[in-house]
């Protein structure tokens, strides 16, 4: 298939269109602006709709409304913009609606810095909104994987009627790489949503056409809401059992294991290769699903063989390291090296810091 040389943000936007996305609402923020810029032209070419909302909050609720109709829809933002969208993401989650969210990470907290960072790991994986809401979180490490995961994110969102979050950063969003774009989806082949969308009426005697459908996150009683929470809990356990993904690189005989995702995983591979050239048995465990987190490969690390786990991430304090420590369970020392606030992690400094730890 033909390979094209594309910027990450534009490639992800085009992948969304080809996955069947026909509605986007967003608000400008660096470093993700090429996503709405591309969609502002492209969606109209395929019969879709693009809205530059008056605010991030408004954009999230526009996605809520679009999803009610069964339309494949998404929004994108970065850092503090996602914090503003958190309210709408919570309502979308509570209403059991499918939607895709792309976060092209920037430095924080607060207004922070427009340069690349991985400081939204905890917000994406632990608390994308209030009330214990969780999202399915995917993390690509190159532009081709970003394309593939965005394309698949719409299927995951539809399958579980959930928010599927693609967490990337300003490096992947703004670098250019050769990619193969997926085929354009036939919209008639997408999953049937007629049993819940508001454009249909449900069974019932209220009119000759049946009862009106109402989609809401509101529950009349605490018991009803608790029952809904239990449905969510069961779904999350299903994700953990069936949907976790990771990459194991040079792990067969590894005595030093790096844990990293996204851009930092690219850096980690360079460090692993350099250490291997020196006779140090290094390897990499890269989570691809950040939530559900791939617990089993970390739990399976053999303390008799693995001497140290080193987390590399563009975050200070470390965030990925919290999950790694939880599943390594203190049997193996876990250390952290990172840069933050928009300072990009460099292979040379990661290598030197890791050698000192060893």
Domain layout of the chain by residue ranges:
4-189, 246-357
Give the pLDDT mean for 217-223.
Answer: 90
Has residue 260 got a pLDDT over 80? yes
pLDDT tens digits along 51-99? 999 999 999 999 999 999 999 999 999 999 999 999 999 999 999 999 9
Residue 284, pLDDT > 90, answer yes
Q: What is the pLDDT of residue 212?
A: 83
Calculate Rg over the CA atoms of the chain: 21
Closest-CA residue to 136 (of 103, 159, 162, 102)? 162
The residues with which 101 forms a beta bridge, in sequence order, are 75, 165
Instruction: Label each residue of the chain as H, E or C.
Output: CCCEEEEHHHHHHHHHHHCCCCEEEECCCCCCCHHHHHHHHHHHHCCCEEEECCCHHHHHHHHHHHHHCCCCEEEEECCHHHHHHHHHHHHHHHCCCCEEEEEEEEECCCCCEEEECCCCHHHHHCCCCCCCCCCEEECCCCHHHHHHHHHHHHHHHHHHCCEEEEEEEHHHHHCEEEECCCCCCCHHHCCCCCCCCCCCCECCCCCCCCECCCCCCCCCCHHHHHHHHHHHHHHHHHHHHHCCCEEEECCCCCCEEEECCHHHHHHHHHHHHHHHHCCCCEEEEEECEEECCCHHHHHCCCCCCCCEEEEEECCCCCCHHHHHHHHHCCCCCEEEEECCCCCCCCHHHHHHHHHHHC
The single residue listed with the structure tokens 């593939």 is: 148
The pLDDT confidence band at residue 330, using thresholds 50, 70 and 90, is confident
pLDDT higher than 80, residue 217: yes
Place of tokens 């304090």: 317
Mean pLDDT over 124-146 rounds to 96
Q: What pLDDT score was predicted for residue 163?
A: 98
pLDDT at 206 over 90: no
Q: Is the pLDDT of residue 200 over 90?
A: no
Kindly report which listed range (123-132, 144-153, 172-181, 192-201) carries the lowest average pLDDT score: 192-201
Structure-token match 């929004």, residue found: 75
| Alpha-carbon dihedral angle through residues 268, 311, 302, 139, given to the nearest 10 degrees | -70
Cis check: omega of the bond before 179, within 30 degrees of 0: no
CA distance 153 to 172: 17
Question: Which pLDDT score, from 0 to 100, does residue 102 have?
Answer: 98
Q: Are 148 and 14 in contact (CB under 8 A)?
A: no
Cα distances (angstroms) measured from residue 348 to each of 16, 131, 308, 355: 35, 42, 19, 11
Pairing relation of β-strands 256-259 and 289-291? unpaired
Q: What is the mean pLDDT of residues 334-353?
A: 96
| Of the options 3.40.50.920, 1.10.287.370, 3.40.50.1980, 3.10.20.70, the CATH number for the domain spanning 246-357 | 3.40.50.920
Structure confidence by residue, pLDDT tens digits, 136-184: 999 999 999 999 999 999 999 999 999 999 999 999 999 999 999 999 9
Query: pLDDT band at 214, cuts 50/70/90?
Result: confident
Q: pLDDT value at position 1?
A: 76
Under CATH, which number does the domain 4-189 receive? 3.40.50.970
- 4-189 and 246-357, same CATH topology: yes
Q: Mean pLDDT over all residues of the chain?
A: 95
Percentage of residues of the chain with pLDDT beyond 70: 99
Angle of helix 262-277 versus helix 347-357 axis, rounded to 10: 60
The pLDDT value given to residue 335: 97
Q: Can you give the pLDDT at residue 40?
A: 98
């Amino acid at each position: 298939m033909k390979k094209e040389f594309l910027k990450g943000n534009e490639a992800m936007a085009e992948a969304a269109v080809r996955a069947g996305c026909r509605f986007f609402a967003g608000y400008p923020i660096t470093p993700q602006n090429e996503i709405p810029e591309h969609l502002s032209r492209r969606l109209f070419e395929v019969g879709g709709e693009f809205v530059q909302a008056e605010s991030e909050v408004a954009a999230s609720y526009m996605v809520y409304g679009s999803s009610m109709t069964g339309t494949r829809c998404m929004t994108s933002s970065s850092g503090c913009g996602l914090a503003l969208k958190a309210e709408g993401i919570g309502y979308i989650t509570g209403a059991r609606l499918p939607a895709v969210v792309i976060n092209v990470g920037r430095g924080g907290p607060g207004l922070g810095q427009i340069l690349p960072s991985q400081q939204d790991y905890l917000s994406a994986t632990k608390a994308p909104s209030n009330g214990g809401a969780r999202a399915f979180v995917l993390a690509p490490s190159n532009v081709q994987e970003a394309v593939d995961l965005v394309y698949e994110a719409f299927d995951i969102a539809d399958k579980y009627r959930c928010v599927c979050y693609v967490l990337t950063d300003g490096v992947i969003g703004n670098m250019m790489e050769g990619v193969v774009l997926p085929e354009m989806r036939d919209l008639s082949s997408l999953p049937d949503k007629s049993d819940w969308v508001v454009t249909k009426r449900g069974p019932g005697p209220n009119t000759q056409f049946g009862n009106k459908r109402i989609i809401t996150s509101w529950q009349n009683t605490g018991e009803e809401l608790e029952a809904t929470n239990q449905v969510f809990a069961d779904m999350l356990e299903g994700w953990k059992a069936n949907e976790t993904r990771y990459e194991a690189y040079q792990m067969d005989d590894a005595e030093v294991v790096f844990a990293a995702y996204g851009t930092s995983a690219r850096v980690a591979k360079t460090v692993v290769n350099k250490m291997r050239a020196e006779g140090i048995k290094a390897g990499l465990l890269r989570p691809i699903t950040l939530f559900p987190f791939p617990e089993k490969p970390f739990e399976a690390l053999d303390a008799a063989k693995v001497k140290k786990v080193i987390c590399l991430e563009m975050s200070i304090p470390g965030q990925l390291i919290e999950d790694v420590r939880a599943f390594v369970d203190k049997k193996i020392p876990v250390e952290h090296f990172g840069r933050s606030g928009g300072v990009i992690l460099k292979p040379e400094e990661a290598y030197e810091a890791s050698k000192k730890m060893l």
